[in-house]
A and B are shown apart, each in its own frame.
Chain A
Amino acid sequence: MIEINNLHKGFGGVKVLKGISTTFLPGKTSLIIGESGSGKTVFLKSLIGLHAPEDGTISFDGRINTKFTQKEKQQWRQEIGMVFQGSALFDSQTVEDNVMFPLKMFTNKMHDEMLERVNFVLKRVNLENSNHKLPAELSGGMQKRVAIARAIVMNPKYLFCDEPNSGLDPRTAIVIDQLIQEITDEYQITTVINTHDMNSVMEIGEKIVFLKNGRKAWEGTSEDVFKTDNEAVVDFVYSSNLFKKVREAYLNEKK
């Protein structure tokens, strides 16, 4: 479980996060949504320790990340899997080497054992015959799947995804969403996804946190998104006619 309490962060005197508090549970896919510039990326980067909070705490199963010793921090880092927006695969390394990299760095396994684990996670993300390809030889969706494989290869307790659907066609985006949700459920990972994609909100949002101007403006489930009267959420989520119609249909059905 990740508990965030009164998180503040700013850059050069500009406040980006203004006292965010929320909780993310294990085995659940939690989504952070909000307009561009609302502080989503800074929030996610604060969670994974790339930005130090100015105030407030982030605790991982009761352990506050700013109070870690060097050794604890190293251990905590290995409990984290991260899927970056652009996949962030090492372009000079093959798919196999990319996925094996954390194992090589942090375990004492023999090469065959590591290869077995790599093949297992690649199979899990449906990328069985791409071991020796370079990232440049893969499509965007395949790169995302390699990034997910790399993120889960160490059996993380916490999985963070920054816009995992950006740049993907709707069909591939759904495949990636479902894959993340299945993995979350299967391994009881605490998953936090930063997204703009309203399909993801409807499909996999077991918990949704809506950020506006650096503050948590609303939180709830994907069911709650349909019912909410919160103007900011309604304006953001139902900005397209398609989603407006979906909501109307849902509400009519419930009457």
Chain B
Amino acid sequence: MNYLEHTGKYFIMLGRVFKKPQRTKIFYEFFIKEIEDLGLKSLGIIMFISFFIGGVIALQTALNLDNPFIPKSLIGFAAKRSIILEFAPTFCSIILAGKVGSYIASSIGTMRVTEQIDALEVMGINALNQLVLPKVLATVLFYPFLISLGMFLGIFGGWLTGVLSGLFSGADYIEGIQTDFNPFLLSYAIIKTVIFAFLIATVPSYHGYYVKGGSIAVGKASTQAVVWTTILIVITNYFLTQMLLT
């Protein structure tokens, strides 16, 4: 199957996903469950990675700025910019594409090969709407909070690194964070996050929903889902940066 056919099939799938839920109460139950599975269960890894990567960014910047004419506050400024612009929205989304993407593709794929999706369709339930829409809403609504937490912890990790290592002072770092603060950069990060969250929910769902075969096919679909979601995040990131920042 060529890329054009996959693209068409993906958009046809989206057309079936975005329908009015048949039962609001059941939809709400599914949505809450997805918030837990796709959002809350990713909190730990995002917090852990953000904190340490933030620390490393600050450390690397400090170690590479040995010119006495460059103010130490630049470390906080550079860390803040790197974390808000790229690390939190893009890097964390790629991590989520791996963790959540493989989960979505394998869970929907397993439902397909064990005929659970057929069972839904025989009952007259729009399986795509029932299974995918709660995932899309859960990621799109929850990931901005997750990424915002990632930003905060990344910046905090950088500050703590300075304080503990003695490479720069906490005051210099905070001064850097406050320098030239542009609120649009936060909006830019959130816009990117929402679009990446949409990709993280829909691309693996596509791979899982149309899987054919058995457990090996589900495994392959899961891998394909992570690879394609990552590729699409990277490409979309490029175009969004072009559109929003230039």
Contacts and interface: CB of A to CB of B under 8 A. Distances in A.
B23 A104 contact: yes
B124 A50 contact: no
Contacts of A84: 115, 118-119
B122 A49 contact: yes
A76 B118 CA distance: 16
Interface in B98-152: 114-116, 118-119, 121-125
A80 B125 contact: no
Contacts of B23: 104-105
Contacts of A90: 116, 119
A85 B116 CA distance: 11
Interface in B33-57: none
Most buried by B among A76, A82, A88, A102: A88
Contact of B114 (A77, A88, A105): A88
Contacts, number: 46
Contact of B123 (A86, A91, A102): A102
Nearest to A79: B124
A86 B113 CA distance: 10
Interface in A50-86: 50, 73-74, 76-78, 80, 82, 84-86
A105 B122 contact: no
Contact of A104 (B26, B114, B121, B122): B26
Interface residues of B, number: 14
A48 interface: yes
Contacts of A102: 123
A228 B122 CA distance: 36
Interface size class of A (residues with CB under 8 A): 20 to 34
B215 interface: no
Nearest to A77: B124
A88 B124 contact: no
Nearest to A48: B122
B115 A85 contact: yes
Nearest to A82: B122
A164 B123 CA distance: 18
A78 B26 CA distance: 17
B60 interface: no
B118 A105 contact: no
B22 interface: yes
Contacts of A86: 114-115
Given A78-B124, A90-B116, 9 more contacts: A48-B122, A50-B118, A76-B124, A78-B123, A80-B122, A82-B119, A84-B119, A88-B118, A102-B123
10 tightest Cβ-Cβ pairs between the two chains A and B: A77-B124, A88-B115, A88-B119, A84-B115, A82-B122, A88-B116, A74-B124, A48-B122, A105-B23, A86-B114
Interface of A: 45, 48-50, 73-74, 76-78, 80, 82, 84-86, 88-91, 101-102, 104-106
